[in-house]
């Protein structure tokens, strides 16, 4: 299948296999098929396809997954730089535009 790949070797995704119980939740929530199962435990198959959305880490009941998640968005990063905060889209009440 034709897949978009962004920059390689930058993603912060980490999986601690020793904590994994093989519940498959990470496979369910991942929008880019980053995970697979080997020997009844999760493995990272396609790390460079990860977009760091954080769904896997958030839904891992064992806390076996770590990823620095955030908005992969240039405007959001500039917003963060200007305000001295983490990258953030300007989507609060009263803002005029958002993704």
Residue 59 within binding range of other proteins, rule CB under 8 A: yes
Contact yes or no for 20/62 (Cβ under 8 A): yes
Contact yes or no for 58/48 (Cβ under 8 A): no
Identify residues 10-29 at the interface with other proteins (CB under 8 A): 10-12, 25, 27-29
- Token pair 């498959």 is found at 24
Residue 73 within binding range of other proteins, rule CB under 8 A: yes
Q: How far is the CB of 98 from other proteins (least distance, A)?
A: 6
Q: How far is the CB of 4 from other proteins (least distance, A)?
A: 5
Identify residues 79-98 at the interface with other proteins (CB under 8 A): 87-89, 91-93, 95-98
Contact yes or no for 53/31 (Cβ under 8 A): yes
């Amino acid at each position: 299948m034709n897949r978009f790949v962004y920059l390689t070797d930058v993603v912060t995704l980490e999986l601690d296999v020793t904590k994994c119980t093989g519940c498959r939740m990470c496979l369910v929530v991942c929008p880019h098929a980053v995970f697979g199962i080997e020997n009844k435990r999760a493995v990272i198959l396609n790390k460079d396809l990860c977009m760091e959305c954080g769904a896997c880490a958030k839904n891992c009941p064992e806390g076996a997954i770590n990823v620095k998640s955030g908005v992969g968005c240039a405007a959001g990063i500039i917003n963060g730089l200007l305000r001295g905060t983490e990258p953030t889209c300007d989507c609060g009440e009263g803002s005029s535009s958002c993704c």
